[in-house]
Amino acid sequence: MKHTLKTTFAILATAACWALTTPASAQELKPMRGADVAAPDQAPDAKEYLGGKPGGQRKIARTFKDQPPVIPHAIENFDEISLEENQCLSCHGAETYKKKKAPKIGDSHFLDRDGKKLEEAAARRHNCVQCHVPQVDAPPLVDNSFKGDVADAKPAGKTAAKKKN
């Protein structure tokens, strides 16, 4: 008997809640983002990449320790990175960087997943733009109060001088 009474009470309470909330849900809901969810987003304007021809500008300082360096030159006219070709390595590869006066890819790029040193760059590091990005002069999309720990970061261009000493 008590079980039946509890079940009846639960059904009545659910019906009462449903009856009281129906008028509120009958109103048109306004999405939090302010636009119709089904409406396509307006694409932002294309931004110009900073830097021009490779080698024509200074390196960009890093904002935190172990940050991958950003690409300080334009890359629009570079070929797509594929399994067969990576145009970045034609200047930054271990065999060519001195002749091209370009920074060599990092030593970490010559380690496999187990930490063993390889003769050539590891395959998992072949897609450079996975971590390294070109700079764009664009306002932030959202407010950001991030302050990099520049004091601990390696200043651009000074790491090679430290290694030689």
Q: Which residue has the higher pLDDT, 48 or 91?
A: 91
pLDDT, position 163: 42
Percentage of the residues of the chain whose pLDDT score is greater than 70: 81
Domains present along the chain, CATH in parentheses? 48-139+147-156 (1.10.1130.10)
Backbone angles phi, psi at 40, to 5 degrees: -70, 145
Predicted TM-score (pTM) of the model is: 0.57
Of these ranges, 75-79, 97-101, 143-147, 155-159, the one predicted with the greatest mean pLDDT is 97-101
As a three-state string, the secondary structure of the chain is CHHHHHHHHHHHHHHHHHHHHHHHHHCCCCCCCCCCCCCCCCCCCCCCECCCCCCCCCCCCCCCCCCCCCECCCCCCCCCCCCCCCCCHHHHCCCCHHHHCCCCCCHHHHECCCCCECCCCCHHHCCHHHCCCECECCCCCCCCCCCCCCCCCCCCCCHHHHHHC
- Convert the pLDDT of each residue in 14-72 to its tens digit: 888 877 775 555 567 677 766 677 777 777 777 777 777 777 777 777 888 788 888 88
